[in-house]
Every structure is written in C-alpha cells, then in structure tokens.
Structure 1
Amino acid sequence: MTDPTSIVAIASSLIAAIAITAAAGLKGWQGWLEIKRMELSSGRADATMPQAGNRIELADLKERVRKLEAIAAGIDL
C-alpha cells in the first residue's frame, strides 16, 4: 500500500469527492439564494410581519402553551 500509484489514486479520489461535494453544496446554496430573491421581489418576505388577526391567534396560542406548561409543571391556575 506504500507504492506511489495507489497513494496518487487515493489522493485523486479524495480530491474528486471533495470537489463533487463542494459543487453540490454550491448548487444548493445558489438555489436557496434564488428562492430568497424571488420571495423578496414578490413581496412575500413581508408576510413575516403579523397582521392583527394573526397577532390575536398568536396570543391565544401563547396563552394555551402557558397553561399547558403550568399543567405539566403541576401548578394550579
């Protein structure tokens, strides 16, 4: 296993595997960035700001979670 041919073959295989992994990761990153660009251009990214109805629903959910946590902790409300 110490002959130079096998060492070069293993090294080149490792470099090829790293290059393929990096290329796949870069392609995925570029796809994610493209999705974010499309969200920004369509105005969909502004949907993260809750509207009045959504805020009320969120407050109700938080209250339910608080009550469930109190029940789980054994605290009487």
Structure 2
Amino acid sequence: MPPADSLLILSTAALTGLALIGGLAAWGWSGWLRLKLREIEARPQQSELPAVGQRIDLADLKERIRKLEAIAAGVDL
C-alpha cells in the first residue's frame, strides 16, 4: 500500500487536471457560442411572408382545425 503522502499528491494532481480540463471545456463552449451568435447576426434578415401568403396559411390552418374538431366530435365531413 502506498504511503498517504503519495495518495494525497496523486489525488491533488488528478483534481487539478480535472479542473483544468473543465475550465478549458467551458472556455471553448463559450467561444463556440460567441461564434454562432456572430454567424446569426451576420446572416441577412429573412423577409416575412407577404400579407397574402400569411392569409392563405392562416386560412389553411383554420380549415385543418375545423376538420380536426369535426373528427373529434364524431361528425362525418
């Protein structure tokens, strides 16, 4: 069995190494998030659908909801 001093040194070194790896991982993650944020900000803004397209999509959704409500109520369409 190794002396207690050796175990203390070994465990301290292991904890220090783990803390170093954790710190580097957190630093890298933070840098990656900053990079992705800059990519998103640099991307040109996508225009919204024209008003007509939005109305068509809304009408389509309302029709689907109506059909689903009819199915739930047991009504044949």
More helix as a share of residues: 1
- Give the TM-score, by structure 2 length: 0.63
User: Where do 5+ consecutive residues of structure 1 fail to align?
Assistant: none
Counterparts in 2 of 1:47-66, with a 5 A limit?
A: 47=47, 49-66=48-65
Report the TM-score when normalising by structure 1: 0.63
- Bigger Rg over Cα: 2
**Percent identity between the aligned chains?**
10
User: Which structure ranks higher in relative contact order (CA pairs < 8 Å, sequence separation ≥ 6)?
Assistant: 2
Structure 2 vs 1, CA of residues 56 and 11 (structure 1 numbering), >3 Å: closer, same or farther? same
Task: Count residues with an aligned counterpart.
Answer: 70
Structure 2, unpaired ranges of 5+: none
Aligned-residue CA RMSD in angstroms?
A: 2.7
